[in-house]
Structure 1
Amino acid sequence: MKVEVQFRNLPGTEAAVGWAGGHTIVADRPIGKAGGLGIGLNGAQMLALAIGGCFCNDLRYTAEELGVALGEISIDVTLSLEGTPLVATLAQMNVTCSTLDGTDASGVIERARSTCMVSNSLARGLPVEISMSA
């Protein structure tokens, strides 16, 4: 199984638009940083969103497998960055989740933790290969 996304220059800016299927996202830098206009997310924000978004989805997958109806889901991700070059050194995720019948959702959360593709991939050290063409 493979997932492919593309990024291309966003005409009239120094930002990039990325897409996967029919979904799009804009990548940019803050205003005044390397031509950034602040019209999109930076890499750290996209990484934190990937971590939290994947976990949201895995909570739903897990709940469906267990036959549990979820109520409110709240996920906050804090990504710590340091060094030169800047790298992510820690992702902290706070998960709050309720069930519609009021039972404890901790089992759903724990099972989702064990199956979450993004956080498990990062924890195992995902290699990134970069090829070039001019």
Structure 2
Amino acid sequence: MKEFHGRVIAPGCVSAPALVSHGGLNTLASFQKALQFGDKKATCGDQNNPDLYGKPMAGKALCLPQTIGSTTGGLVLYCACSMHRQPACLLFSNPIDSLAAAGSVLAAVWLDNVSMPVIDCLGEEFLAYVKDGMTITIQENGVVRVD
């Protein structure tokens, strides 16, 4: 077990299995099937992300360096939350970009009964340590425990 400390963007407590990407998450390409075609598992559709492609993202602790892609990124995250197809949490090794932050914060503020805690600045050691399937637990103060 190892603990990491980051900056809380959207608060919350959760425990979920890790899903790790060492490349940036293209939110539109990744969530397109979930948003347009009703894929409730939010299977990653980004063929350019071999770490995530074809894997279900809903309910997972999505661990990544940053998001990439178009200006729709924030809206895509907000819509995934509104449709209850969001990851259990987003954990960034780097500082979050403004679009992903906007989508996460808007979902936290505007949507009732939806939770997607977001923590950034966890560091490169976090992304090097965590592996798919490990249990991630986020505590109220932003501490991320990896078991």
TM-score (norm 2): 0.23
Pair member with larger Rg: 1
Higher strand proportion: 1
Task: For CA contacts below 8 A with separation 6 or more, give which structure has more relative contact order.
Answer: 2
